[in-house]
Amino acid sequence: MKMNKSLFVVLSTVLVSGTVLAGCGGGSGDSAGSGELAQEISINLKSEPPTADPGLADDSASSTILRATFDGLMRPGLDGKLANSVAKDYKMSEDGKTYTFTLRESKWSNGEPVTAKDFEYAWKRVLTPKLGASYAYQLYYLKNAEAYNKGQAKVEDVGVKALDEHTLEVTLENPTPFFLELTAFYTLFPVNEKLVSSNKEWANEAATHVGNGPFKMTEWKHKSSIILEKNENYWDAENVKVNKINMNMIDDESTELSMFEQGELNWAGQPTSMIPTDAIKPKMDSGEANTQAKAGIYWYKFNTEKAPFNNAKIRKAFAYAIDRQTIVDNITQSGQIPAMSVLPPTMELNKGGLFKDYDAETAKKLLEEGMKEEGLTKLPPIELSFNTAEKHKKIAETIQDQWKKVLGANVTLVNKEWKVYVEDMHSGNYQVGRMGWNADYNDPISFLDIYKDKTGGNNDTKWENAKYKELLDKASAETDLAKRSEYMTEAERILVDEMPIVPIYFDSNLWLQDKNLKNVIVDPLGNIDFKWAVME
């Protein structure tokens, strides 16, 4: 536990500076009655969040909303260290398997009290099979959680229980060194049991949305904008200085950049959106751009149930035919590193990577062998899907050209709006598709667990490997950290050898901001938190 917590601090959150009062109407300098300024900021969310329900979310757009409108047992503090939040204290048993959290007095945005029962209800709800939560596996660390999610145990067997209104007892299957970090992740946020159990559509409109975070949703014009306002019922409201966050949904990066430069936006680019690729180098050269490496990867996923990518050698051929260095040098241009393995540098296990970047001869050889195994004399047409963004389009066009040049593949590019794109990926309605992944907590399991089960919520590849599953099960049960690392190291080798995904580059965030906004947190996992933001 101590080792991982120290690692979190070493990687600690950076505090971002810079932003003028507010665009789109802006915040004034009028007194708010308590010595504070009436402060307002405007950002671009780029696309419609698929959901504002922490139990169903699994994407960055939804994450931005949830981290502002909800609060977990723990939350990174202003100094970047993991700190108590809704939980004012906790105790861990000597065997590391039982946590007892004492909750502080806190309220929902509708004024009702937040109780330990809300946490118990929320976690068990995520595990309920009929909910279909793609992140249900994040709770498998709880005793009997996986068994319940798979219909092999009763809900009362799951290791989370409200002992009283302010005491939550959590029992784990095995000691889990990153469990406290996980309680700060949105899947483990509470939901208002009374509301959620009575209204299935509660999270789809501002009028019925209820959270327990620093901000509350007051307006949601679908596919247009969201407005968040300070939640006066938040337990730590005195430390929330921004009164209003205007969130636009502008797809076009050039329009976003123009609005930022005209003072209509206070933040442009990641983690909430992007700036045009053609603007990256000039903004980097001028010193206007902020960049920060993160524990994240940009990868392509294969649908391993659709030919020809049901063959591992063919998948590997397509992976070896990508020139990643060209992509990071000419398109992303902001500190990305070609990915020769799955795990980013902050949690690297296989030093030096597990395959070569752009090996045309190996790619051709593997393709020939794979096609022979499948009885193919010619590659079928390939569809490469991506969601709307200039960067994704340019990367796809570059890889389309490389695959044609090296493998003779005829690749059609398919562009979709984000919400539709995510739904199609999860339902298997794709052949090859792009996706990014940021660690949910700083541990290799955050990446490796995705591909443990073919029916796992985020395993769009439908790939599964018995040995891989065995190794991850052993890692989960192992208390010897060195032995645990060995299991995960071998598991990563299997994942790369089977290649259901194509690592392309380890990512970084790049953004622009005005100079007067202080204390916006962009953490090493790629998350943004406006709780502490203040205009100066």
Mean pLDDT of 354-364: 95
Structural domain count of the chain:
2
Q: Do 82 and 200 lie in a common domain?
A: yes
Count CA atoms within 13 Å of residue 77 on its CB side: 9
What region, left, alpha or beta, does residue 33 occupy, with left being phi > 0 and alpha being psi -120 to 50 degrees?
Answer: left
Two tokens at 195?
A: 């509301």
Banded pLDDT at 516 (limits 50, 70, 90): confident
Which amino acid is present at 69?
T
Least confident of 61-75, 99-113, 188-202, 446-460: 446-460
Write down the pLDDT at residue 202: 98
| pLDDT at 24 > cutoff 70 | no
Is the CB of residue 487 less than 8 Å from the CB of residue 471?
A: yes
Give the Cα separation of 79 and 182 in Å (integer).
Answer: 18
> Would 236 be classed as within a structural domain?
yes
Q: Do 256 and 329 lie in a common domain?
A: no
Write down the pLDDT at residue 455: 87
Q: Do 240 and 321 lie in a common domain?
A: no
| pLDDT at 30 > cutoff 70 | no
> Would 279 be classed as within a structural domain?
no
CA nearest neighbour of 101 among 173, 174, 182, 215: 182
In sequence order, the 6+-apart residues with CB closer than 8 A to the CB of 420 are none
Which single residue is written with the structure tokens 């979190």? Answer: 8
Sign (positive or negative) of CA dihedral 524, 529, 531, 536: positive
Is the CB of residue 41 less than 8 Å from the CB of residue 48?
A: no
Planar angle of CA 226, 36, 186, nearest 5 degrees: 40
> If 0-12 CB within 10 Å is exposed, 13-18 middle and 19+ buried, where does residue 381 land?
exposed
Element (H, E) at 420: helix 418-427
Least confident of 11-20, 188-197, 353-362: 11-20
Q: Which CATH number is 167's domain given? A: 3.40.190.10
Count CA atoms within 13 Å of residue 98 on its CB side: 7
Q: Do 477 and 523 lie in a common domain?
A: no
Q: Do 175 and 151 lie in a common domain?
A: yes
> Would 283 be classed as within a structural domain?
no
Mean pLDDT highest for which of 79-88, 225-234, 414-423? 225-234
Distance of CA 201 to the CA centre of its chain: 23
Q: Kindly compute the dihedral angle of the four CA atoms of residues 349, 351, 353, 356, in this order, to the nearest 10 degrees.
A: -160
- Intra-chain end-to-end CA distance of the chain, in Å: 38
> Would 267 be classed as within a structural domain?
no
Two tokens at 151?
A: 């219909």
**Tens-digit pLDDT profile for residues 392-441:** 999 999 999 999 999 999 999 999 999 999 999 999 999 999 999 999 98
Banded pLDDT at 457 (limits 50, 70, 90): confident
pTM of the model: 0.85
Write down the pLDDT at residue 307: 95
Banded pLDDT at 38 (limits 50, 70, 90): low
> Would 63 be classed as within a structural domain?
yes
Q: Which CATH number is 455's domain given? A: 3.10.105.10
What region, left, alpha or beta, does residue 223 occupy, with left being phi > 0 and alpha being psi -120 to 50 degrees?
Answer: left
Phi, psi of 264 (to 5 degrees): -90, -15
| pLDDT at 14 > cutoff 50 | no
Give the Cα separation of 470 and 245 in Å (integer).
Answer: 46
> Would 73 be classed as within a structural domain?
yes
Distance of CA 462 to the CA centre of its chain: 20
| DSSP conformation class of 455 | T
**More reliable by pLDDT, 428 or 33:** 428
CA nearest neighbour of 80 among 144, 138, 5, 137: 5
Q: Do 112 and 171 lie in a common domain?
A: yes
| pLDDT at 22 > cutoff 70 | no
Q: Do 250 and 363 lie in a common domain?
A: no
Q: Kindly compute the dihedral angle of the four CA atoms of residues 36, 241, 108, 140, in this order, to the nearest 10 degrees.
A: -160
> If 0-12 CB within 10 Å is exposed, 13-18 middle and 19+ buried, where does residue 361 land?
exposed
In sequence order, the 6+-apart residues with CB closer than 8 A to the CB of 390 are 253, 274, 276, 277
| pLDDT at 29 > cutoff 60 | no
Q: What percent of the chain is modeled with pLDDT above 90? A: 87
Is the CB of residue 303 less than 8 Å from the CB of residue 460?
A: yes
Residue 501: count other Cβ atoms within 10 Å of its Cβ.
Answer: 26
Write down the pLDDT at residue 517: 86
Q: Do 79 and 196 lie in a common domain?
A: yes
Mean pLDDT rounded to a whole number for the chain: 91
Q: Do 439 and 391 lie in a common domain?
A: yes
> Would 490 be classed as within a structural domain?
yes
Banded pLDDT at 108 (limits 50, 70, 90): very high
Strands 411-416 and 382-387, by their bridges, are parallel
Q: Which domain does 443 fall in, by range?
A: 292-509
Give the Cα separation of 52 and 507 in Å (integer).
Answer: 25
Q: Do 328 and 306 lie in a common domain?
A: yes
Planar angle of CA 14, 242, 30, nearest 5 degrees: 135
> Would 55 be classed as within a structural domain?
yes
Q: Do 236 and 326 lie in a common domain?
A: no
Residue 286: count other Cβ atoms within 10 Å of its Cβ.
Answer: 8
Mean pLDDT of 296-306: 97
Q: Do 422 and 309 lie in a common domain?
A: yes
Write down the pLDDT at residue 518: 87
Q: Kindly compute the dihedral angle of the four CA atoms of residues 436, 440, 442, 448, in this order, to the nearest 10 degrees.
A: -70
Distance of CA 253 to the CA centre of its chain: 21
